[in-house]
Amino acid sequence: MKRQASIARKTKETQITASVDLDGTGVFEISTGVGFLDHMLEQLARHALIDIKLEAKGDLHIDFHHTTEDVGIVLGQAVQKALGDKQGITRYADVHLPMDETLTRVAIDVSGRPYLIWKVAFSQPKIGEMDTELFREWFQAFAQNAGITLHIETLYGENNHHIAETCYKGLARALRAAIALDPRQIGRVPSTKGMLA
């Protein structure tokens, strides 16, 4: 069974198409019009080993908010669709992701119950042209639409680029482990309820 999905979303603010292969090799083709967001999504694909093809056109002449949030929505929806009924997945995972002076902890439950805990602080309002406050918006949108419980906490760090990158790489590594198929779970959902929702 192939765990692949495609989503298209069009509003008055953005037009986005995305396709994912959860059992890929981390190849990506990503264009959002926001350079730093592209860089972070490329990290997500590569380190989660999820193939991602995503194109977004948004109202960047206003700001990056709509595009950033809507990319999180669409990518989250694609991941949820590709997971199907979640039979056989590991479900839980966590990682401590270091990058030079920064360390971020990410824990995930592919539960069908979306929730975000975000304990990440930035010392600057922007990284490149991207507002640092938009990172929380992206992770909120992704968690909500992927149907995952997601806890992210930067334990320490100084460089804002490193802080943002550890959040995305941490999500990638935790997601990779959580959606991995456990041969002892094949044919059943990892819940005593018999479903994840």
The confidence score (pLDDT) of residue 151 equals 98
Split into its structural domains, the chain has a count of 1
What's the domain range around 117? 4-178
Q: From its phi and psi, is residue 112 left (phi > 0), alpha (psi between -120 and 50) or beta?
A: left
Residue 94 within a domain: yes
| Residue 122: pLDDT over 60 | yes
The pLDDT tens digits for 159-180 are 999 999 999 999 999 999 999 9
Residue 57 belongs to domain with CATH number: 3.30.230.40
Residue 188 within a domain: no
| Residue 195: pLDDT over 70 | no
Say what the pTM is: 0.95
Residue 142 within a domain: yes
Could you tell me the CA-to-CA distances from 190 to 74, 76, 86, 103, 150 in Å, in that order? 25, 20, 8, 30, 18
The pLDDT tens digits for 86-106 are 999 999 999 999 999 999 999
Residue 121 within a domain: yes
Residue 68 within a domain: yes
| Residue 181: pLDDT over 70 | yes
With 0-12 CB in 10 A as exposed, 13-18 as middle and 19+ as buried, what is 75? buried
